[in-house]
Structure 1
């Protein structure tokens, strides 16, 4: 990052940050996308089973990985303060924390997976596929969380293109393994949707190993010698990471878990409805990678400007990011409206699931506009280090407002499964409004603080 003086310079610098992040996020999500799409072609039961499994796993992973994201600002500040010798210690503590989180997830899953699935009204075959899919994913939890830490270290050095390349390498690995294990090609067993879980777990091991090689052998990472010496566990370092990371993790968890909750509530409907819901939600989540990436880029840009006490530039970056996100949302919404049949055809060949997916995709259009405002604002607020407000807003807008609205519409207004989607859209809209108000307040606070300092 460097100081910019015109809107043109800001746009150019913002895109330099944004594009590698966007490609990385799309590639990471691509694994889940192809799991769902390819499982759908194995059959409706496979699609529904993977849908249930993904809905249980996604909020857990995104929430807990949000905690690990705290390593990026910690390392970046150390480098900015020219205390590079402390970086290996912080990274290794992040790895230890990732291992602790991974083991906790595995043990929690062993205790809770069966009771949770038993409490859902699922067809026997769908339940079996969801169970076995999650068991397969378990084999990749440790490398996934460790990779998250290593990625944070690389991104903190500004090397977002490296993480982009690593993630892009993972995508063909995942697709190829899906092809072999879902459909049983070249002598491999035909595992259906469960094969997608094993393929993803193996892919996680691959990207963790590639990241390890890059950090130990490629400059500028190798000069830090992250794995060059032994460090014991330091709970004080864990506390530092948790203080920043827990609010981030909670805000992400509250947002992603609402979608999982809706999917679980919809388990009372037939398999075709569950499959169509998950297909449409999966594609909407794919499009969400655009505003999410803009949010991540805004955290870097706004944080840089606030650190340099340039509140005006931080405001300009904030609204530049929101504007880009809204324009992209309009483009995606129009594309979804025009190509909804083609999108539905990606997920299934079953006629009933196909027709229902098209209907759900119409509701997904409204997701885009709310996400285009809410996600970038969250990123900008993190740049201001305002992390507590975002998880409170997520809790209220999604769980206190959005979910009850959806439940009421589904149960008492004869809208059925579509009522839940209206509730989700309402929650996203409430969240966008609340967060915009918070951002404007924080910006006014920083402006007045700068003015006061100038007077003194």
Structure 2
């Protein structure tokens, strides 16, 4: 297989055709958080710290839950590859029920434990009390958001990513309008800026879920896909769908928990450091949506090849995804580097915040490529049936390397120390996961049985 071979060029075209709407949809997810942060940050830098601290525990739960739903995408793609088109509706139905269960459980956990957890973290005085109400509002939006994720994964696996992209950007419009109305308290509701912004997110997530579910049930081929058919019991497929989700959820939990821990470390340094880290993390997270979208598209193509018993096609799709994400993230890094000061200024023009956040954002561009490679390689591994090794590698890189290194370096050189820890962990993760995928794909048997 060479990069210029016809099959590789075809795989690249298929990847890019599927990926660009997925990338825009993922960017839309983070743009919602960016909108919140910019509106709140221009209202008051301390409110931005509240917002960041509320998102930290919420992000651990929400990203873990998204990973647990990854089986919807992979199993739909595999069944299409196997020619079992009429059975994909059962995957969706299981996924929606699972999403609601996860959403309710996450909501209850965050409402009752989230504010208490913030108070145990030795944060600067007043930060935990300000972030608590915002965290509760984010918790209430969890069921709707996870339903939207399951629906979006299903559409992407079908090769219909554009409706999800459009719906996400409409939801962003709803979020922006409500932010501009609620954060300055134009209605006199007495909410702090962070809490008001989270109510805007709540409404946008609800609108997104409603639209996507209605769109799916109105698909012309909905009956042919088995969406309205009560699925017969299939414990093997159900178990595999959950197994894929367990691997994805565990891996996402480790990574996002590690980044949340970095936010708490920043909180120990002070409000300005917390706000500066929030800006760096928010911009980096938006950039991360490019490889996140490419990882989903790569997983769909690898999953289809896996379902069809095409081991060479699975290897090709994964390597094309890794190659494309390398080029795109390098371009993004070169664009962000010279514009870092301007980007930070969009959040808040406080000279002290600019002095901390702008150099840290410049430094953060050094991990964009490695971070992109590792997420694409991890999803390609899971789509090829290798569920648990990506989780083990993420635990080693982000739990074993980044968190302790971040604590040591942050207390020595501040926010830049947190960034250096991310750079090193991302390099470790990307190298190990890429090597693992090449080994897994080359060993895939034609029977498509997963590796032990």
Contact map agreement 2:115 2:135 (CA 8 A) in 1: no
More moved, 213-222 vs 82-91: 82-91
CA distance in 1, matches of 2:240, 2:309: 24
Residue 292 of structure 2 corresponds to residue 320 of structure 1: no
Contact map agreement 1:181 1:189 (CA 8 A) in 2: no
Listed as ranges, the gaps of 5+ residues in structure 1 are 451-456
The partner residue of 1:415 within 413, 416, 419 is: 413
Q: SS at 2:114's partner residue? A: helix
CA distance in 1, matches of 2:307, 2:332: 34
CA distance in 2, matches of 1:238, 1:45: 46
The partner residue of 2:422 within 424, 429, 439 is: 424
CA distance in 1, matches of 2:55, 2:308: 41
Contact map agreement 1:67 1:241 (CA 8 A) in 2: no
1:170-189 alignment, distance < 5 Å: 170-185=171-186
CA distance in 1, matches of 2:8, 2:442: 21
Residue 55 of structure 2 corresponds to residue 57 of structure 1: no
Contact map agreement 1:330 1:368 (CA 8 A) in 2: yes
Contact map agreement 2:275 2:353 (CA 8 A) in 1: yes
How far residue 138 of structure 1 moved from its aligned partner, in angstroms, is 2.2
Contact map agreement 1:301 1:314 (CA 8 A) in 2: yes
Q: SS at 1:259's partner residue? A: helix
Residue 137 of structure 2 corresponds to residue 155 of structure 1: no
CA distance in 2, matches of 1:178, 1:234: 45
Contact map agreement 1:14 1:297 (CA 8 A) in 2: yes
Q: SS at 2:356's partner residue? A: helix
* Cα-to-partner distance string for 1:140-184 (whole Å, 9 max, x where unaligned): 111111122222222232211121121121111111111111123
User: 2:363: which partner in 1?
Assistant: 363
CA distance in 2, matches of 1:382, 1:348: 40
Contact map agreement 2:406 2:418 (CA 8 A) in 1: yes
CA distance in 1, matches of 2:333, 2:217: 43
User: 1:40: which partner in 2?
Assistant: 41
User: 2:109: which partner in 1?
Assistant: 108
Listed as ranges, the gaps of 5+ residues in structure 2 are 447-452
How far residue 243 of structure 1 moved from its aligned partner, in angstroms, is 1.5
Aligned CA distance change for structure 1 residues 319 and 215 (closer, same or farther; 3 Å) = closer
Q: TM-score, normalised by structure 1?
A: 0.90
Q: SS at 1:214's partner residue? A: helix
Q: SS at 1:31's partner residue? A: helix
CA distance in 2, matches of 1:389, 1:106: 29
CA distance in 1, matches of 2:13, 2:415: 43
Aligned CA distance change for structure 1 residues 87 and 290 (closer, same or farther; 3 Å) = closer
1:121-270 alignment, distance < 5 Å: 121-185=122-186, 191-221=192-222, 224=225, 226=227, 228=228, 239-270=239-270
Q: SS at 2:413's partner residue? A: coil
User: 1:281: which partner in 2?
Assistant: 281
CA distance in 1, matches of 2:36, 2:405: 31
CA distance in 2, matches of 1:440, 1:77: 20
More moved, 425-434 vs 108-117: 108-117
User: 1:296: which partner in 2?
Assistant: 296
Q: TM-score, normalised by structure 2?
A: 0.90
CA distance in 2, matches of 1:325, 1:417: 27
CA distance in 2, matches of 1:258, 1:367: 16
Aligned CA distance change for structure 1 residues 255 and 10 (closer, same or farther; 3 Å) = same
How far residue 53 of structure 1 moved from its aligned partner, in angstroms, is 1.0
User: 2:438: which partner in 1?
Assistant: 440
Contact map agreement 2:254 2:395 (CA 8 A) in 1: yes
